[in-house]
Structure 1
Amino acid sequence: IELQATFYRIPRLSTVERWRADAPEDFEFVVKAWQGITHPPSSPTWKKAGQKIPPEKREKYGFFKPTSEVFEAWDTVKRICETLKSKICVFQTPPSFRCTEENVRNMRGFFSAINKGNLFLAWEPRGDWYNNLPKLKEVLEDLQLIHVVDPLKRQPLIITPIMYFRLHGLGPRDVNYRYKYSDIDLEKLKTYVLKLEGPEEAYVMFNNIYMFDDAFRFKKLLED
């Protein structure tokens, strides 16, 4: 399961410990990194954060900025990953995080400075990064990040030992949470995943209203 809760607000460590204790030993949690690392407080997603950032600190969060606040946020996220025995941490950036020299510099500084331990780090870019594929590929390769995509919409630019796919529904926009995947969609997805050459593992995560049903149907399709 991919934890969305860790993106919106930092849970208490006691809560995280309970999640781990209540789950089977072989149950795997994927952590989505807290938005304080990736999204500025002006983002609408902060409405669910349950906290207000003081005006003098609002510029210190998001966009992988080289601030103590962002690095401290990572330390907290890493502690959550370790407590849950997670293997993967996912970073999702908003369309407002554009493909600029400053943002590339921030990413390079962040990922080269942090201690990721044994974690695999995955990134789902949105927005104009796909208008500059050579730069996007360069960043992914240099920082050794898993390229998170919806393979029914676009192909990953690099093949890594672990592939990570997030499906938000089909349509003209990045997300269409009300979309329910058809049998044909799931057959296409199965064909794509099984034909991948190189990866040792592939994660397929549904992030739509019908996520449980669609994931169950896809799992059954893989077993047939």
Structure 2
Amino acid sequence: MNPIQIGVCGWGDHDLYPPGTASKDKLSVYAGHFPVVEVDSSYHAIQPRDRMARWAMETPDGFRFVVKAYRELTGHGRREGAPERTGKELFRLFAESVEPMAEAGKLTAVLFQFPPWFDCKKENVRYIRRCRREIPDFPVAVEFRNQTWFSSRFRDQTLQFLEDEQLIHTVCDEPQAGIGSVPIIPEVTHSGQVLIRFHGRNRDGWNASGRTDAAWRDVRYAYRYSQQELDEWVPRIRRMKEEADQVTLLFNNNSQGDAVDSARRMADLLGVSFQGLAPLQLGMF
């Protein structure tokens, strides 16, 4: 497996596929370009176990997945029409869903991305501990979107807490747009893994500001990283690689199709050549 993994968030909407590629075939094509992907559909609904097993089987041995935790488990609320279930049941069902990927050795981490209103207080610290306790067999990454976790008062305590609980710190590159965003904190809290997510720096689009959900999603991650902005990350990534066995980079700046380009440019900057990718289809040429 590549010691530095680079990929994008989701595989359905990127400019990678020959015309006419069926949705069911896109993951296999994607795996010919990148060695890791973030599963976003697991946030919207707990995926069927057999589907997760199929995704694991359709990818090469060295391919890896970061699976987003289901939205009710991260405080984003129950989606319309979803069945009402207890927290205990949700954790159980989610763990059963992810298990095939873990058994195949292809699970980099389960990502708990907490919402902007999930601030630094004892109640939320206890809940993160519960998340770790409920799925003890999976690597767990935590992403904050509330600045209080990294305020001068709590920054060191937050990082120490993650380390003590054996939680993977998710380092974020995102707009500095008020309380619902976090600064770049390039620190490792787990010797096995660090996760870095690039959301772009679209400050004006980061917060909803009266937009509909659909319109907000379209603009929030619309951003093309400059060469200078990517260059800034090279020494950070190399330093973190000295402290963690694996560094995983995921680009989420795809509202206007920029994630793939950003990921490829970052790979070039780091001198990363991916090994063990799926064979590219001849139609790609």
> TM-score scaled to structure 2, two decimals?
0.64
Q: Which has the higher helix share?
A: 1
Equivalent-residue separation in structure 1 for 2:238 and 2:136 (angstroms): 29
Question: 1:208–1:92: structure 2 CA closer, same or farther, 3 Å change rule?
Answer: same
**What is the rounded CA distance, in whole Å, between the counterparts of 1:174 and 1:120 in structure 2?**
32
2:96 corresponds in structure 1 to 76
Q: Which amino acid aligns with 1:169?
A: G
Aligned to 1:120: 139
Aligned counterpart in structure 1 of residue 198 of structure 2, from 137, 144, 167:
167
* Number of residues of Structure 1 aligned to a counterpart in Structure 2: 206
Q: Is the 8 A contact 1:168 1:174 kept in 2?
A: no
Deviation at 1:173, TM superposition (A): 7.3
**1:159 Cα shift?**
4.1
The one of 243, 249, 255 aligned to 1:198: 243
Structure 2 SS opposite 1:140: helix
Matched, 1:154 2:173: no
Moved over 6 A (4+): none
Q: CA deviation at 1:77?
A: 4.4
Q: Which residue of 2 aligns with 1:212?
A: 260
Does 2:64 match 1:11?
A: no
Aligned alpha-carbon RMSD (Å): 2.6
Q: Contact (CA 8 Å) 1:88, 1:121: kept in 2 or not? A: yes
Deviation string for 1:165-214 (max 9, x for gaps)? Answer: 00100244795411111111111112221233322221111011111111
2:41 is aligned with 1:2: no
CA distance in 1: counterparts of 2:44 and 2:100, whole angstroms: 14
Structure 2 counterpart SS, 1:154: coil
Deviation at 1:115, TM superposition (A): 4.2
Is the alpha carbon distance of 1:110 and 1:19 closer, same or farther for their aligned partners in structure 2, counting shifts above 3 Å?
Answer: closer
Q: Which runs of 5+ in 1 are unaligned?
A: 61-66
SS of alignment partner, residue 253 of structure 2: coil
| Deviation at residue 81 of structure 1 after TM alignment | 3.5
Tell whether the 8 Å contact from 1:146 to 1:163 is kept in structure 2 after alignment. yes
Contact 2:56 2:101 (8 Å CA) reproduced: no
> SS of 2:225's equivalent?
coil
Sequence identity, in percent?
27
Q: Residue 34 in 1 paired to residue 70 in 2?
A: yes
SS at match of 2:197: strand
Structure 1 residues 53, 97: CA separation in 2 closer, same or farther (over 3 Å shift)? farther
The change in CA–CA distance for 1:52 and 1:89 in structure 2 (over 3 A counts) is: closer
Cα deviation, residue 151, structure 1: 5.4
